[in-house]
Amino acid sequence: MQPAPQNPDEFESLKKFLALKRHEEPPPGYFDRLPGEVRARIAHAQANPEPWWRRWMEAWDLSPQMATGYAAMACVLVLGGFWLTSQPGPQRGQQLVTTPPPLTTTNQADLVNPSNTSPTGLFNTPSLQVQPAEFKK
């Protein structure tokens, strides 16, 4: 594949600009003042250092695309954290346990089993005998 032939008039304005730059000279005394200005800028930078966060950000040397990606990820994480904390979930910490109100029956004998046997059907073995607990010192 061959490149398309270039138009000679396409770079005419650039040629004129470079011809003007060739004859350009700095103002009088520029090179006499240049070393002093450079030293003054260095002294100013040493006397007034940049804030730590600016040096830290410059150390990352991020492209705009990377910085935008990191900022978007940080926003997603912050918004996700807010969303998770606003969702109702299992309660943590101590919970108050209440006992049910006492039964108001007239026959208390129905509530207490005075026998020493297990209730029928508890472990599917109605013949299982329950022994009283003993406290040993």
Q: What CA–CA distance (Å, rounded) separates 31 from 35?
A: 8
49 closest CA partner among 36, 58, 60: 58
Secondary structure of residue 2 in the 3-state scheme: coil
Residue 121 has a pLDDT of: 58
Question: For the segment 73-98, what is each residue's pLDDT rounded down to a tens digit?
Answer: 999 999 999 998 888 766 665 666 67
Q: What CA–CA distance (Å, rounded) separates 70 from 54?
A: 17
Secondary structure of residue 27 in the 3-state scheme: coil
Q: What CA–CA distance (Å, rounded) separates 78 from 84?
A: 10
Residue 88 has a pLDDT of: 76
Contacts (Cβ under 8 Å, ≥6 apart) of 67: none
The C-alpha angle 92, 96, 100, rounded to 5 degrees, equals 135
According to DSSP, the residues that pair with 117 across neighbouring strands are 129
Instruction: Note whether 130 and 116 are within 8 A (CB).
Output: yes
Residue 127 has a pLDDT of: 57
Query: Tokens 């969303």 label which residue?
Result: 83
Residue 118 has a pLDDT of: 58
Question: For the segment 6-62, what is each residue's pLDDT rounded down to a tens digit?
Answer: 777 778 888 889 998 888 888 999 999 999 999 999 999 999 988 888 888 788 777
- Single pTM value for the model: 0.32
Which of the two residues, 102 and 18, has the higher pLDDT score? 18
